[in-house]
A and B are shown apart, each in its own frame.
Chain A
Amino acid sequence: EAQVTQNPRYLITVTGKKLTVTCSQNMNHEYMSWYRQDPGLGLRQIYYSMNVEVTDKGDVPEGYKVSRKEKRNFPLILESPSPNQTSLYFCASSGRTDTQYFGPGTRLTVL
């Protein structure tokens, strides 16, 4: 089954404690993205990747890092999380002309 998986689905952490949210797709897609969703703001793109070792900033990259060492994986790293990064995070992937496939979301709370 074609899918995008994210882990963990829910995470409560404290300010400053490094965390990684994993994202994996099984569709051999070139493009992968991370979005955050906040009430009243819709989704905003954090980072995207056009292929292995090719990443670029989206609209709200501050406080986040990503890497794309393998085509299927695109982890999101928060080196020093802060409360303003409390949000719902979505990973997405797409092929050259596909629409985007979204993961189930990760709800992050930073205390």
Chain B
Amino acid sequence: AQKVTQAQTEISVVEKEDVTLDCVYETRDTTYYLFWYKQPPSGELVFLIRRNSFDEQNEISGRYSWNFQKSTSSFNFTITASQVVDSAVYFCALSESWSNYQLIWGAGTKLIIKP
């Protein structure tokens, strides 16, 4: 069965600290996709990244970076030099379909950045 676990319910850090959000997934498929979404206090879902199971290269986008490790079934997300605007709920999700129309979501991690 597919499952996504975000064990950290809430994380609170002071601005400019680095923070890592953990995501562990379960799937029997060899082809799958992993996602991160951000949900700011306004409520909309903001797509951050999609990674397929054949691409284990780490990704960096500005202050954001993602570490995909198939050996540990993890897809962790790090924010470097956090800012107050990074405060949000972050979701990790898994899709086993090429078309990505069915997503299995983690419970989310609420990130609080204090000034």
Question: In the complex, what residues of B have CB within 8 A of residue A45's CB?
Answer: 102-103
- Interface range on chain B: under 10, 10 to 19, 20 to 34, or 35 or more? 20 to 34
Is B55 part of the contact surface with A, judged by Cβ < 8 Å? no
Inter-chain contact A31/B101, CB cutoff 8 Å: yes
Is B91 part of the contact surface with A, judged by Cβ < 8 Å? yes
Is B53 part of the contact surface with A, judged by Cβ < 8 Å? no
Question: In the complex, what residues of A have CB within 8 A of residue B9's CB?
Answer: 40
A residues with CB within 8 A of B? 30-33, 35, 40-45, 48, 50, 58, 88, 90, 94-102, 104-105, 107
Given A33-B102, A94-B100, 11 further pairs, Cβ under 8 A: A30-B99, A31-B99, A41-B107, A45-B102, A48-B101, A88-B43, A94-B99, A94-B101, A96-B99, A97-B100, A105-B44
Main secondary structure of the interface of B (DSSP, over half): loop
Q: Taking the nearest CB of chain A, how far is it from the CB of B50, in angstroms?
A: 5
Main secondary structure of the interface of A (DSSP, over half): strand
Inter-chain contact B101/A102, CB cutoff 8 Å: no
